[in-house]
Structure 1
Amino acid sequence: MIRPQLHEPLQTEFTCVLFDMDGTLVDSAKGVTESAATALDMVGAEVPDPETLLTFVGPPMIESFRSLPGMTEERAQLALKHYRKAYADSGAKQAQLFHGVTEVLNQLGHRLPLAIATSKVEDQALRVAEFLGIDQHFVDICGASDANGRATKRDVIEESLQRLRTKEVNVDSPVMVGDRIYDVQGAAAFGIPTVFAQWGYGTQEEQAGAAAVACQPHDLIQLLSSDKATQQSVGQ
């Protein structure tokens, strides 16, 4: 089932697809939340309840740490270092693909260039993609980078588009697929529509501004590659 967010049908002559990672391709909640809890404990901060920790999945982790009561910038940065170590040591190995993602990548990859644009640190994103066996589906995998000043989702999308241009991918009409408001807003900064992944970790309120909502991964095949089928489904 595909639910439209706009009055007009989602235009489907896309030239490439940018995928978020956590909550869109990968169910990483267990590894992310456990690593975040470990990091907060290491810096002597109060560990939030599981529901709050779940909101940490997707956005830049430093922003989630900064949002906690009594968290100073120095303490947040230290927690981030502990988080990255914990995630690299064990959290990443707990990641698994959402059901249906492999089929989606197989089918869409034959029709459109695919890329990953994630708030996850890039080296971690590469390791997770390789670990799950999906790296070969993507022209590029772009993530956050302290060294290169990529911290926000907007930064990551901007870099991803530049890399795709360098690789001679047509970025005249890209589309973003993601599960958080950061994906929607980051893509909108470049005039890119977002298909909201309802199976991820975002709330219903975060869907506002998305061009369409896909309820399950398989919906993306129809939504992003078949004009006629999409026009018939959108609005039902």
Structure 2
Amino acid sequence: MADRHAGSLRPAVVLFDLDGTLVDSEPGIAACVAYALERLGVPLPSREALRDWIGPPLRQSFAGVLDADEARIEQTVAAYRERYVESGWRELTVYPGIAEVVAGLQAAGSRLAVVTTKIEDQARRIVAHLPFGAAFAAVYGAPPGTTSGDKTARIARAAAELGAAPADCAMIGDRHFDVAGARANRMTAIGAAWGFGTVEELRAAGADAIAHAPAELPALLTRSPSA
């Protein structure tokens, strides 16, 4: 059940996206994409274009520059994974203020989990190495070979396994996949404007609220018991 604290009601379960919400993973992802495309002799997209790659599944992003050539896509994904497993997964930084938000929510009684489009074993590895990784009860990622960024099923599974009704849950993320998945499950969707999506993208997807910095999250996640 959600925790009542000082006349307020916090979600029983708070779900966080990983890339662009908890961590800035752009350096590692960009370096791995560059490594993979160079192996195939494919020109590297601009840095701005590469930011749009953070969130969707790799195969979906590579298809756009490889003319949907399945064989070349799989070769490129394999090259990306090669570098990512070796070093790319460590090339990230935690967003300032996120650790304090995670600690505060945990102290207030909310159960926390990560829901991401990243392959699940990779996501678990990253979360386990975060200084606050132990605060998360579970990590829900994509199965190998996934081509869809839809998080609806993963978000539903997280709520069910953590024992909370959708109305008692909130999802925080920086891309439309996060907002759409939360809305499909009838739970609160909060956009993280410090990530890789845009405020316009988050609003268009139907975010209930948008936080421009992690410090804004506690207030957005708190409502009066009568609300």
TM-score if structure 2 supplies the norm length?
0.85
Give structure 1 stretches of 5+ with no counterpart.
1-10, 232-236
Identify which of 104, 107, 111 aligns with 1:107. 104
Aligned-partner Cα distance in 2 for 1:192–1:120: 22
Q: Which amino acid aligns with 1:33?
A: A
Q: Relative to structure 2, which stretch is displaced further, 78-87 or 68-77?
A: 68-77
Q: Relative to structure 2, which stretch is displaced further, 129-138 or 102-111?
A: 129-138
Aligned-partner Cα distance in 1 for 2:80–2:9: 39
Identify which of 73, 79, 83 aligns with 1:82. 79
Identify which of 66, 70, 73 aligns with 2:67. 70
* Alpha-carbon distance, 1:107 to partner: 0.3
The alignment's C-alpha RMSD in Å is 2.4
Aligned-partner Cα distance in 2 for 1:227–1:145: 38
Aligned-partner Cα distance in 2 for 1:75–1:147: 14
Give structure 2 stretches of 5+ with no counterpart.
1-7
Q: Which amino acid aligns with 1:127?
A: R
Identify which of 131, 134, 137 aligns with 2:132. 134
Aligned-partner Cα distance in 2 for 1:72–1:136: 41
* Alpha-carbon distance, 1:13 to partner: 5.1
Q: Relative to structure 2, which stretch is displaced further, 83-92 or 25-34?
A: 83-92
TM-score if structure 1 supplies the norm length?
0.82
Q: How does 1:213-232 map to 2 (within 5 A)?
A: 213-225=210-222, 227=224
Aligned-partner Cα distance in 1 for 2:59–2:148: 12
Aligned-partner Cα distance in 1 for 2:146–2:71: 20
Q: Does residue 1:161 correspond to 2:159, yes or no?
A: yes
Identify which of structures 1 and 2 has the higher relative contact order when contacts are C-alpha pairs closer than 8 Å and 6+ apart: 1
- Contact 1:17/1:174 (CA < 8 Å) preserved in 2? yes
Rate the CA distance shift 1:26–1:88 in 2: closer, same or farther, 3 A: same
Aligned-partner Cα distance in 1 for 2:81–2:148: 16
1:4 maps to none
Q: How many residue pairs were aligned?
A: 216
